[in-house]
A and B are shown apart, each in its own frame.
Chain A
């Protein structure tokens, strides 16, 4: 378990506009947090700040009360794992070899893999349910299988904080559910702190305990799905009118898109 605290963090990709503007955000041990917001609202930038990939232009980021800027990349990698949105593998490594890459931060330059490294890889493979194709070539997997293999790679890092950038993008609905089910299990059973950028509001409402809605690099709303996913908030952030209903079994908010007045949608 790890906590991350973004203390008045700002980031600019250059120029005068800020992708993330003076954000104060604390994610506690064992939380499962979804980051929402339209394109360009700063959610991926926020994730990259938390992973140490980007350094804040101003403000600071604390990982378990230690300044992220003072930690070596290796120290960070031993606590924080990142599942990227886009993953390109140029060589024909097997799934198992790809998952073993997750042990990189723990293996010294001249040392070989220890018993524990193999165990961590085996456990991650089992947890992600990819044992059946662990000897197949990673590049030949389907989208859903690939995504689970990448999660296994991140799990092999034995992270305390797992960051995911739109993990369900490009997946079929069965794989979306499967993947979020897996992520939630990691959170509940192993206490891993989770923070994920989500595009699909309904999926986010179903699986996350806390949602953070970003708008123009600022936090617009922060709270439980019921608190954040209101018709007013969504209209303010996405400039789109929606109807918010209740999910029939989970009682979480369920967003129903409304066609704009005057247009005919399958009438």
Chain B
């Protein structure tokens, strides 16, 4: 890249902004904990620092068992969904693609629902079959939508939206059906509702210990293929003429996107539009080069979801809004605006 300085600067600024967001978001709640205290107690945890506590033990418990896990979970969900957004937009050659809009999230959710009602319980660490089923649900859905929506080497917005809508509706209906006939799910209706609306709560460090490496590895693998994703904007044939094995790489991108979506869905349920808004906002500032867009969107998505989740839990405090409702309230009008703006380009 010619502009190495710009690359580094963008990522450094975003990383600092993300760290600030993590600390500041943790100060908010029914009990205010000063940012400096949070910094000090976190640094004490590394065993390298030994600050005199200027805080109570209750503060420490609140920060470490409730707020930090939640804020970090928000960051990971945001990063995973935004990275998936960039991957799908690049692969579908369609800037309107988003894991929620094209039904990947719903696929993951249905997979998760099926896992929940299965009479078997196998648990790996603190996860059961749920994330595995969520992954396959997401993968199968995106394969179906991709193949239904494709016209030649393009995926026109209209056919993508229709395919995504039809498949999502089908999946949502199947989920409703499962819920109404399954007694175990009926008992957990409150939880199921939260899942469908998209909500980050009940996050534990054990869960984060699985989700964190999955998201990081996913983002890093995506980064490896960033240049090829650029070439794919020429279409499958065009990328093929540049020496890319498109059939193989398509599967890599779809698999990676499904993995990231399923990981996000497993801790937050269906949070929509993050994967649409973040890459768009980032493209406006830094351009479409995926080598910078991918990491910048991962960081930007993390920041966006931390802020959205902060709003979700503080606006009506002490009661909570589902964060998915908030992202949809911001995201849906934005989506409509994009559709209107690009109307000319998308008429056939």
- Answer yes or no: are A and B bound together in one complex: yes
Task: Spell out A's residues near B (CB within 8 Å).
Answer: 51-53, 72-78, 80-82, 84, 87-94, 97, 101-102, 104-105, 107, 109-110, 112-113, 118, 157
A92→B243 contact, CB < 8 A: no
A109 touches B224 (CB 8 A): yes
Minimum Cβ distance to chain A for residue B57 (Å): 47
6 new A-B contacts, CB < 8 A, other than A75-B243, A90-B94, are: A89-B234, A90-B95, A101-B242, A105-B242, A105-B243, A157-B242
Q: Which residues of B contact A102 (CB under 8 A)?
A: 242
| Residues B95 and A82 in contact, CB atoms below 8 Å apart | no
Once the chains bind, are A53 and B234 in contact (CB under 8 Å)? no
B287 near A77 with CB under 8 A, answer no
Determine the distance from Cα of A144 to Cα of B283 in the docked complex, in whole angstroms: 27
**Quick one: given A90-B233, A101-B234, A104-B227, are A112 and B1 in contact (CB under 8 Å)?**
yes
Q: B45 within 8 Å of A by Cβ?
A: no
Chain B residues closer than 8 Å to A97, beta-carbon distance: 230, 287-289
- Given A76-B243, A92-B287, A113-B1, is A104 in contact with B233 using a C-beta cutoff of 8 Å? no
Q: Provide the residues of chain B in CB contact with A109, threshold 8 Å.
A: 224-225, 227
Q: Are A92 and B244 in contact (CB under 8 A)?
A: no
Contact of A104 among B244, B288, B289 (CB under 8 A): B244
Once bound together, how far apart are the Cα atoms of A104 and B231, in whole Å? 7
Contact A73 B288 (CB under 8 A): no
Given contacts A90-B93, A93-B233, contact A104 B243 (CB under 8 A): yes
* CB-defined A-B contacts under 8 Å, sample of 7: A51-B241, A53-B240, A74-B243, A75-B243, A87-B238, A109-B224, A109-B225
B2 touches A (CB below 8 Å):
yes
Contact with A along B194-206 (1 / 0, CB 8 A): 0000000000000
Chain A residues with Cβ under 8 A from B93's Cβ?
88, 90
Q: Which residues of A contact B240 (CB under 8 A)?
A: 52-53, 73
User: Is residue B228 within 8 Å, beta carbon to beta carbon, of the partner chain?
Assistant: yes
Asked whether B237 is an interface residue with its Cβ less than 8 Å from the other chain, the reply is yes
B101 → A minimal CB distance (Å)? 16
Query: How distant is A97 from chain B, measured CB to nearest CB, in Å?
Result: 6
Say whether B235 faces chain A, with CB atoms less than 8 Å apart. yes
Alpha-carbon separation in the docked complex, A72 to B240 (Å): 11
Is there an interface contact between A104 and B228, defined as CB atoms closer than 8 Å?
yes
Q: Does B59 contact A (CB under 8 A)?
A: no
Inter-chain CA distance A102–B287, complex, in Å, is 19
Distance of A102 from chain B, by nearest CB (Å): 7
Chain A residue nearest in CB terms to B290: A91
CB atoms of A107 and B233 under 8 A apart? no
Do B235 and A107 touch across chains, with their CB atoms under 8 A apart? no
Q: B65: CB under 8 A from chain A?
A: no
In-complex Cβ contact of B241 among A53, A92, A94, A107 (8 A): A53
By a CB distance below 8 angstroms, the chain B residues around A113 are 1-2
Residue A73 contacts which of B154, B233, B238, B244 (CB distance < 8 angstroms)?
Answer: B244
Given contacts A84-B237, A93-B288, contact A73 B228 (CB under 8 A): no
Whether B241 and A82, one on each chain, are in contact in the complex, defined by CB atoms closer than 8 angstroms, is yes
- In whole angstroms, what is the CA distance A188 to B234 when docked? 29
Are B241 and A91 within 8 A (Cβ)?
no
A215 to B140, CA, bound (A): 44
Which residue of the partner chain, among A72, A80, A107, contacts B227 with CB atoms under 8 Å?
A107
The reply to whether B154 and A104 form a contact with Cβ atoms under 8 Å apart is no
Q: How far is the CB of B19 from chain A (nearest CB, A)?
A: 27
Query: How far is it, in angstroms, between the C-alpha of A78 and the C-alpha of B288 when the chains are bound?
Result: 25
- Answer yes or no: B126 CB below 8 A from chain A CBs: no
A31 to chain B, nearest CB (A): 20
Looking at B225, B233, B242, B283, which has the most chain A CB atoms within 10 Å of its CB?
A: B242
B314 contacts partner chain A, Cβ-Cβ < 8 Å: no
A88 touches B224 (CB 8 A): no
Tell me whether B174 is interfacial, beta carbon within 8 Å.
no
Chain B residues within an 8 Å CB radius of A74? 243-244
Task: Evaluate contact between A93 and B237: CB separation under 8 angstroms.
Answer: no
Say whether A53 contacts B237, CB under 8 Å.
yes
Binary interface profile of B, 216-232, with partner A (CB < 8 Å = 1, else 0)? 00000000110110110
A172-B97 Cα distance, complex, nearest whole Å: 36
B residues 1-45 near A (Cβ < 8 Å) are: 1-2
Complex interface: chain A residues within 8 A of B283 (CB): 91-92
| B245 at the A interface (CB under 8 A) | yes
What is the bound-complex CA distance between A104 and B244, given in angstroms?
8
Partner of B245 from the list A73, A89, A104, A110 (CB cut-off 8 Å) is A73
Residues of B within 8 A of A94 (CB): 287
Tell which of A73, A87, A112, A118 touches B243, judged by Cβ atoms closer than 8 Å. Answer: A73
Taking CB atoms, residues of chain A closer than 8 Å to B154 are 88
Give every chain B residue within 8 A of A53 (Cβ-Cβ): 237, 240-241
- A51 CA to B241 CA, complexed, in Å: 8
A178 CB, nearest partner CB in chain B, Å: 23
A52, A92, A104, A112: which contacts B242 (Cβ < 8 A)?
A: A104
Residue of B1, B93, B239, B241 with most partner-chain A CB within 10 A: B241
Question: Are B288 and A88 closer than 8 Å at their CB atoms?
Answer: no
Across the interface, which residues of A come within 8 angstroms of B228, CB to CB?
104
Which listed residue (B224, B225, B244, B288) contacts A91, Cβ 8 A? B288
Minimum CB–CB distance from A107 to chain B (whole Å) comes to 7
> Closest CB-CB distance, B146 to chain A, in whole Å?
15
- The residues of B that contact A76 with a CB separation of less than 8 Å are 243
Cβ B227 vs Cβ A92 within 8 A: no
Per-residue contact bits, chain B 284-297, to A (CB 8 Å; 1 contact, 0 not)? 00011100000000
